[in-house]
Amino acid sequence: MAFKERVFSGVQPTGNLHLGNYLGAITKFVALQDTYDCIYCVVDLHAITVWQDPVELKRTIREVTAAFIASGIDPKKQIIFNQSQVAEHAELAWIFNCVARLGWLNRMTQFKEKAGKDRENASVGLYAYPNLMAADILVYRATHVPVGEDQKQHLELARDISQKFNFDFAKSIASHGFDEAFFPQPEPLIQGPATRVMSLRDGSKKMSKSEPSDYSRINLTDDADTIAQKVRKAKTDPEALPSEEEGLKPRPEADNLVGIYAALNGTTKADVLREFGGAQFSSFKMALVDLSVAKLGPIGAEMKKLVQDHDYIDSILADGSKRASVIAGETMKAVKDIVGFVRS
Ligand code: TRP
């Protein structure tokens, strides 16, 4: 069977959204809505795999929702919702807990990184996290998943789970009249430049909400002065900008700033260097401040306005959840039949 093409992706409501989230994920989500039916999820169930302050969690769920809308995702045409309002995610995740093998999860590098040395003290949820992510995608039988490099391994796991489910239940799938490929094999969509935005203080580290220095990142809600200050203080080296991309290779900080400029401007690094090759950082940074403020300023302002209107944001999430539930409910009914549960 040919699956209906459908995009699914999720963003965790933890901490402030920054330029890395925007260029690495949200702008890609915006672009995809022209070609696909898209479901964008605020993955609050994933967030609580590490401790979240309940008051802060509510705030960040609304903030991510506001960022989606302010960036241009149309909540009427696409589906925007938060994961915990559609119970089928957790339901299918349990079934997948029984499909995925311990050996598969033991290979997940993100768990090893996040759990660190104190693995005994990590939550069971953090360990089973990739199974829930597989359920997120497959409960909508999504075919395309925009993700960063760091999520590719989880997506491979989702494909393994899909395949094993289809295989283990092949007889039951056929006897219920479903196509033998009940779940699709979701494909990653990894596109465009500056998918990886690096720290403004250290070009070898990803821009991150957990980095102690706020000068390492540009938050989506930073005002113009703050953006200007952060760009001005961004780490560079004493050389002028090169004229060819090759010249950026040994210079991670220069590479990062040129990449950010290109991504914000919708051009390539080569284009940026054609314009700024030979220029000093002082003048390039001025141009980068102007561009960042022009592009991010209106989004930040709109976000700040939207997050204050709880009724509006919550109604978007309620409407999205209702529409998502229709699709997820259909899948879950079929899954129950396939697995052999009795249902009304
Ligand atoms: N794990 C993803 C991240 O941290 C978020 C996520 C949860 C997700 N479920 C998903 C991404 C499903 C894509 C598809 O970035």
Over the stretch 172-185, which tens digit does the pLDDT of each residue have?
999 999 999 999 99
Residue 76 in 3-state DSSP? coil
C-alpha distances (whole Å) from 242 to each of 34, 269, 291 are: 36, 11, 20
Please give the average per-residue pLDDT across 17-30, as a whole number.
94
> Is there a catalytic annotation at residue 114?
yes
Residue 287 has pLDDT above 60, yes or no: yes
Residue nearest atom 13 in ligand 1 by C-alpha distance: 9
Q: How much is the pLDDT for 293?
A: 95
For residue 192, the model assigns a pLDDT of 63
Q: Is 278 exposed, middle or buried (0-12, 13-18, 19+ CB in 10 A)?
A: exposed
pLDDT at position 16: 86
How far is the centre of ligand 1, averaged over its atoms, from the C-alpha of 132 (Å)?
9
Q: Count Cα neighbours of 310 within 13 Å in the Cβ-side half-sphere.
A: 3
pLDDT at 194 over 90: no
Residue written as token pair 């005994």: 120
Closest CA to 39 of 72, 70, 83: 83
CA of 155 to the centre of ligand 1 (A): 9
The better pLDDT of the pair 194, 79 is held by 79
Catalytic: 206? yes
Single out the catalytic residue among 58, 209, 235, 304: 209
**Helix 252-265 and helix 269-276, axial crossing angle in degrees, nearest 10:** 100
Q: Of the listed 58, 164, 206, 235, which one is catalytic?
A: 206
Q: What is the pLDDT of residues 298-333, one digit of tens each?
A: 999 999 999 999 999 999 999 999 999 999 999 999
The mean pLDDT of the chain is 95
Could you tell me which residues are beta bridge partners of residue 145?
188
Is 77 tagged catalytic?
no
Instruction: Give distance in angstroms: CA of 10 to centre of ligand 1.
Output: 4
pLDDT for the residue 1: 53
CA of residue 42 to ligand 1 center, whole Å? 9
Determine what percent of the chain is predicted with pLDDT higher than 90.
93
The answer on pLDDT for 2 being more than 80 is no
Q: Which residues line ligand 1 (CB under 6 A)?
A: 8-10, 12, 43, 46, 133, 136-137, 145, 147, 151, 154
Q: Which of 216, 250, 157, 189 is nearest to 24 (CA)?
A: 189
